[in-house]
Structure 1
Amino acid sequence: MTGDTGTPADPAANRYVTTALDKPPDLRGADVTAVFAELFDTHARQLRGYLAGRVGESTADDLVAETFLVALRQRHSYDPERAPIKGWLYGIATNLVREHLRKESRGRRANLRAVGRPEPDHDAVVADRVDAERASRVLKQALAELRDEDRDVLLLTSWAGLTPAEVAEALGEPASTIRSRLHRVRTRLQALLTEESR
């Protein structure tokens, strides 16, 4: 492989870039503003894509900002020995999604009670949140029927592109549990898709 100038590309340069991105940041150092600016530049776009798929475009920007605000406040709890910072950030974001959905669900139930209408099924509400462009009718139904823990694992790996080790860090569970859960969920979804295509 050659670079733009026709000279052989330096594979060591690519390793350096990857290493630089994966290097644990110093969240306890003196220049926290610069560190968080770099973290935002590196992770905000992908994080927003993940959040938009979970809660919609209009809420995603607010949750991205809140993710970095919580990370700044809790920076002393980050342990670079456990996993890369990406998993830590997605863990914060996933907790914020859960809290957002709980608040939204409580508000919707309160509004429905106020006007005397019956409450919708919780699984149907969750299914409506899944981005219609990203999932077929079968996948929407399957996602709605998944337990919250299984849904989080699937979406963190599929939409956010996290590795099982990063998901384990994000959710505070052992990587072996995440791999097992991911395998079970994927097998179930594959069976549903195969059955639907018959």
Structure 2
Amino acid sequence: MAAPPSVVPPWQDDAAVIERSWDEPECFGVVFDAHYAEIHRYASRRLGPHAADDVSAETFALAFRQRHRYDLSHGSARPWLYGIATNLISRHHRDEVRALRAMGRVHPGGEPVGGHEDEVARRASAEGVRGALTEAIAALPPDQRDVLLLVVLSGLSYDEVAQALEVPFGTVSSRLNRARKKLRKALGGTNPLLDDDEEEMRR
């Protein structure tokens, strides 16, 4: 017996669910349930929790309205949703800069055990690096910042970032390379976000 229209088999990928939602709009809720939490987490890390609520809700509202334009050759909707969210985040540049700078001021918490001078120095150094890093990210051009944070915060591959932003693979690679060079320069030759081994793993 066929499943009722409101029931989506668990084995169906996002593309199949989205295609089905063309005729059965309620099925799109499966995509929402599968991806809302990670899209909200991504938006929250870029904008802070308050703005993330609005961006996440708007991401899925826009995705629902544009579902007939979804490329069904892509089984997972993650890159598509991250792309929509990233475009919406670009309208909140001031919120993003504020969130990044606030992140740079966050302390790990707690007092150094025993008050040892080396522990105090280590934490001071870590906080200085974090502050410099967030300032450097905030200063990146938006296109470079988007690529960097999609790779770092979402774990998307280069191909998926290209899909999300609708740009060629080579553009993703060149933007990320430029961003990393700027971060290295700002941090005195080191970049704690992505080292060469991690970059290779993303490809």
2:145 corresponds to 1:151: yes
Unmatched segments (≥5 aa) in structure 1: 1-19, 106-124
What does the per-residue CA deviation read over 1:88-145, in whole Å, with 9 as the maximum and x for residues that have no partner?
11111111111244xxx6xxxxxxxxxxxxxxxxxxx753231514981111221122
2:161 corresponds to 1:167: yes
Distance 1:172 1:33 in 2: 27
Structure 1 residue identity aligned to 2:98: D
Instruction: Report the Cα offset of residue 82 of structure 1.
Output: 5.3
Instruction: Report the Cα offset of residue 83 of structure 1.
Output: 7.0
Structure 1 residue identity aligned to 2:144: D
The counterpart of 1:127, out of the listed 72, 85, 97, is 97
Instruction: Report the Cα offset of residue 22 of structure 1.
Output: 5.6
Distance 1:196 1:182 in 2: 15
Distance 1:190 1:25, change over 3 A: farther
**Equivalent residues of 1:153, 1:178 under 8 A apart:** yes
Structure 1 residue identity aligned to 2:33: D
Unmatched segments (≥5 aa) in structure 2: 1-10, 108-128, 192-203
Distance 2:12 2:50 in 1: 29
The counterpart of 2:41, out of the listed 32, 46, 49, is 49
Identity, % of aligned positions: 37
Q: Secondary structure at the match of 2:154?
A: coil
The counterpart of 1:141, out of the listed 121, 135, 139, is 135
The match for 2:53 is 61
Distance 2:138 2:12 in 1: 35
Distance 1:82 1:40, change over 3 A: closer
Greater relative contact order, per chain length (Cα 8 Å cut-off, separation 6+): 1
- The CA RMSD over aligned residues, in Å, is 2.8
Structure 2 residue identity aligned to 1:24: A
Aligned positions of 1:109-128 closer than 5 A: 126-128=96-98
Distance 2:183 2:13 in 1: 32
Distance 1:142 1:22, change over 3 A: farther
Instruction: Report the Cα offset of residue 184 of structure 1.
Output: 2.7
**Equivalent residues of 1:87, 1:169 under 8 A apart:** yes
**Equivalent residues of 2:32, 2:60 under 8 A apart:** yes
Structure 1 residue identity aligned to 2:82: Y
Distance 1:163 1:21 in 2: 22
Distance 1:83 1:188 in 2: 35
Q: Give the length in aligned residue pairs.
A: 156
Instruction: Report the Cα offset of residue 182 of structure 1.
Output: 1.4
TM-score of the two chains, using structure 1 as the length reference? 0.68
